[in-house]
Amino acid sequence: MSVSAPEEVVGAFIAAIEAQDIDAAIDLLADDVSYENMPVSPIAGKDAVRATLEGFLGVASRIEWPVTRQMTSGSTVVNERLDRFQIGDGWLELPVAGVFEVDSDGRICLWRDYFDMASYTRQLAALTDNH
């Protein structure tokens, strides 16, 4: 048995999100994962994270989360990303700073994203009003 390095786990997780493969993404999370979008309350546990991901990924026909900078220290990975969601004919683009902690089983136990909620909701409203 081998356990992947933290940056490999985070890379595989983001690849699963981009592929809209929620099962693969959830498999990379610890059972007691804490998913923290800083503007709102934390989401605790795999099932709640699955429901959240199904909701906000489900509106997109394509997803790209290019990582523009990434650093790893021990079990922690920090990155800057531009989370892009194709919705209808347009793209929602959200600058994000993410913090991930990976446990000794190679699963993500903390996923914390810093971003501006209004930048997200404003674009989402504009893109969904078109259809």
To its own copies, the closest distance from the beta carbon of 25 in angstroms equals 22
In the complex, the residues that contact its own copies under the rule CB under 8 A are 38-39, 69, 71, 73, 76, 78, 80, 95-97, 99, 114-119
| Catalytic residue (choose from 83, 103, 105, 129) | 83
To its own copies, the closest distance from the beta carbon of 34 in angstroms equals 14
Q: Is 103 among the residues known to form the active site? A: no
Q: Is 83 among the residues known to form the active site? A: yes
| Catalytic residue (choose from 23, 27, 113, 116) | 113
To its own copies, the closest distance from the beta carbon of 22 in angstroms equals 25
Q: What is the 3-state secondary structure (H, E, C) of the chain?
A: CCCCCHHHHHHHHHHHHHCCCHHHHHHCEEEEEEEEECCCCCEECHHHHHHHHHHHHHCCCEEECCEEEEEEECCEEEEEEEEEEEECCEEEEEEEEEEEEECCCCCEEEEEEECCHHHHHHHHHHHHHCC
Show which residues are catalytic.
83, 113
